[in-house]
Each structure stands twice: as structure tokens, then as C-alpha cells.
Chains A and B, each alone.
Chain A
Amino acid sequence: MKTLNKTNVITAVVLLIGGLSPNLASANSARDTIISGFSSVAELPVSAERGKALFESSPAAGKPDTPSCTTCHGASPMTSGMTRAGKPIEPMAVSVTAERFTDLKKVQKWFRRNCKSVLGRECTAQEKGDFLTFMSSR
């Protein structure tokens, strides 16, 4: 029985790695491509620290109801946020929501809207690269 159990465990682990890692790997690679796209036209190398500072800042330069990212996304990227209309927003930290930032069209759409809502302008490639680097590190 012991041998069987061990075999079962090994089989399970192999299946798990085999089943999950290609998805994770392709999500990570899609995200890396998106971040590289921003960093290639950014002035400075992308920085998680600057991304964190942007996320936590309260520019209050856009629309009055959305003074900061955290208004809707919550104080921590690790936990869920809530839209002003009461719908939950999945955590932005990649370690929690693996499929985050893997679709360039979606990424651009939400940066455009949310930067305008919070900052009153579109974000720069530098800011986008920093922000995604921070979220990928969490």
C-alpha cells in the first residue's frame, strides 16, 4: 500500500505540473511580452517600486469620485476590490489572479479609462510598465 500511495502521489504531482504549468507559463510569457512592449519605449528601466508608489498614490487629478487606484481596487493588490456599482474586482496581484495582464487589448483599454478617471490623462508607457511590474511581483 505504501508503494501504491507513493506512486499515486508522484502521479498526482506529475499530472498537476503537466496540467497547470503550460497555462501558467503561457500567461507569464504573454504578460512579459506586454511589459517588454512598454519598457522598450520607456525612458527608465521599469521599476516595481515606482509602480507601487503609483498604485498607492492619491493624485485626485481626474474625476472626483475616483481620486486613486485604491478607491475601487482596495488598499492591497492581494485582495478583491469593488466597483462603484457594487461589483467585485478580482485582485490585481498576479500571484492571486494568474490570468491578469495577459491580453494587451484589455490592458490598454483599462489603463486608458482608469488613468483618465484617476489621473485625468492617459498613463505613459513608463507608468504602465512600472505598474505591471509591481503587480507581477505581488
Chain B
Amino acid sequence: MNKINFLLAAGILVFASAIVFEPARAESFPPISNQTVKTECGDCHMVFFAEMLPRQSWLNILNNLENHYGEDASIDPVSLKEITVFHTSRASDVLNSRGAHKWREGLRAGDVPERITTAPRFVRKHNDNDYKRMWTKFNLVSNADCVACHKDANKGLFDDDD
């Protein structure tokens, strides 16, 4: 192998690794500080980020808390109002932030995902063997348990390789 070929090969290798090993730029969300949201939502599950679903999804969910994914999760009207304002003002099709933009990608007009796990971004990001492997590895009971794999999820950080 002559010197030029070697340099060329080395150059290609460096270039290729830069593509392959470029750290994934996952979206991040500002941590949630609203105490009503933290308590009322967080008693049963991780406090999900409003930016993950469009406004109409949150309205449907919050207007039907008596039938909340198999349980009665009804709350007092004052808390409900506060939580509704919080979520609808930060919904994926409302808020102008990097996270919200990412989560509205792939949503067609009129799409109202019933769950975060059926939102296009979730489906796209969990459609591989890693996701299946994590279920076994961490002995997961629910796909609502983001923190099991994304250790900093509560801080709004969802890196791919946690």
C-alpha cells in the first residue's frame, strides 16, 4: 500500500467514524416544576412531558380521568384546570421548542395519539431490538416507566444510550 492510498484510507476511516460515532442529539425538555402536576400525575407514573403529545390528546386524556388507562384517576376540578392549562400550553403542536418540534414531526393533521407510546416519535425511536432487549434487561412491567432505561428522564433528558 503506497503512502497516498494509506492516507486516503485513514482519511475515509476518520470521516466514517465521525458519522457513526457522532453522539445522538436527543431532545431535552425543561424539568417540570409545577407542584400540582408533579403530585397529581407523579403519584402513579413518571411525570410525562407535555411536549410529547398534541393539544387535543391532552384534552381527551384530561377530560376522561375517570377512565385513565384502566384506572379511575379523577381529581378535583381546581387541580384539573391547572394541569389542563399546563399541558395544553406546552403541547407538541403549541409550544415552540426543540422538544415540541421533534414530537410533532410525523403527526398528520387530525392525528390525536391516545398515548405517548403511539406518538410517531416514540414509535420511530423504539422500533428496534434495543428496546426489546431493555425490557428483558431491566425486567420492565410497563412502557410508561421511561426512567428504567432513560435514567435522567425526570430531568427531561432522554439520551439514546442510557
Contact = CB atoms under 8 A, between A and B. Distances in A.
A65 B70 contact: yes
Interface stretch (B14-22, B87-95, B100-108, B138-146): B138-146
Contacts of A113: 71-74
B145 A86 contact: yes
Interface of B is mostly: loop
B45 interface: yes
Contacts of B1: none
Interface residues on B, range: 20 to 34
B72 A85 contact: no
Contacts of A87: 43-46, 145
Interface string B75-89: 110000000000000
B70 A84 contact: yes
A64 interface: yes
A2 interface: no
A117 to B, nearest CB: 5
Interface string A97-114: 000000000000100111
A52 interface: no
A85 B70 contact: no
A66 interface: yes
A82 interface: yes
A138 interface: no
A83 interface: yes
A63 B46 CA distance: 22
A116 interface: yes
Interface of A: 62-66, 82-87, 109, 112-114, 116-117
17 contacts: A63-B67, A65-B71, A66-B71, A82-B141, A83-B44, A84-B44, A84-B69, A84-B70, A84-B71, A85-B44, A85-B142, A85-B144, A86-B141, A87-B45, A87-B46, A114-B72, A117-B72
Given A66-B71, A83-B45, 7 more contacts: A66-B70, A84-B71, A86-B140, A87-B45, A87-B46, A112-B74, A117-B72
